[in-house]
Amino acid sequence: MPPQKTPPAGMSPPAPRPVTLTIATRKSALALAQCRAFVQRLAALDPGATLQELQIVTSGDRIQDRPLAEIGGKGLFVKEIEEALLDGRADIAVHSIKDVPGLLPAGLHIACIPVREDPRDVLVAPVHGTLAALPSGARVGTSSLRRMASLKVVRPDLDIVSIRGNVDTRLRKLDLGEFDAIVLARAGLVRLGLAERATEVLSTEISLPAVGQGALGIECRESDEKVRARLAPLHDLETATCVAAERGVLIALGGDCRTPLGAFAERAGDSIRLRAFVAESDGSAPRRAEREAPWPRSADAAHDLGLALGRKLR
């Protein structure tokens, strides 16, 4: 190893070059809120770094007049953001991991999954309050085939219809009387400071969460070791293990927005409990499966557990 050069007497060593990182995110209020909360935590690790935001309007955001299943699925919320990583316009991307397809583009890597927010679904029903109290024929809005299929199991008498738009748009449609209730992810309401809008938190026995619901996926170029090292301290191993198991189910079932599919893993002492739900695309033939196993030693082992459970449902 060559000897380290020392500056001449009386001269200070050169200052380290400032670090500038560009973080890509969707432009919706929820995406910005969760991105900025994460960036605050990242900035606290290195106050000298410059972290700049790149807001991207994705295809999923632009096309609001058709159900996701008709226009290509949740991957449309990440496609343009991943292109920004691949072409160098961004160094880091902040996603809701439930929007990230099971297989990533070559060259990209989910380097960090922070601590998860509450993964459960909630009902927002200003007049009736709870799912049980909704009258027969009540109009319930949701953007998710999974939620539609789950609700039909317990309340087949409801009129469950598709609703698109960001959280604010859906709440506004509800407040204008277009719906008697809507179903949303509790994590989104919490991150927007709107948790009090929920009138009932739905049990996971009624509405099993989407794969990765409540968790963020922080993506970067696989080859960017410096960025991966910066993200590592914010990675939560327990959340990542649970998400790996859930994404195993997703991959085994080939799930997309045309598949009503849920999977939820949680720690139970020294074990992991993984539950999964799937139905036909029209919501018919709903079925569930569950597996409990010793806590996985790695994310790969958790992923394999999810694959096995998904194959059982398939």
Q: Which of 96, 73, 92, 76 is nearest to 84 (CA)?
A: 92
Residue 248 phi, psi dihedral angles, 5° rounding? -60, -40
Find the Cα–Cα–Cα–Cα dihedral 142, 69, 278, 146, rounded to 10°. Answer: -10
CA–CA distance, 183 with 4 (Å, rounded to integer)? 62
CA–CA distance, 21 with 256 (Å, rounded to integer)? 32
Helix (H, G, I), strand (E, B) or coil at 162: strand
Q: Which of 43, 35, 91, 51 is nearest to 222 (CA)?
A: 91
The residue written with tokens 């200003």 in the block is 126
Whether the Cβ atoms of residue 241 and residue 272 lie closer than 8 Å to each other: yes
CA–CA distance, 243 with 249 (Å, rounded to integer)? 10
CA–CA distance, 26 with 94 (Å, rounded to integer)? 8
Of the candidates 91, 99, 121, 180, the residue annotated as catalytic is 99
Residue 161 phi, psi dihedral angles, 5° rounding? -130, 160
CA–CA distance, 91 with 225 (Å, rounded to integer)? 11
* DSSP H/E element including 82: helix 79-86
Handedness of CA 125, 127, 130, 133 (dihedral sign): negative
Whether the Cβ atoms of residue 111 and residue 219 lie closer than 8 Å to each other: yes
- What is the C-alpha radius of gyration for the chain, rounded to an integer number of angstroms? 21
99 is catalytic: yes
CA–CA distance, 166 with 307 (Å, rounded to integer)? 32
List the catalytic residues: 99
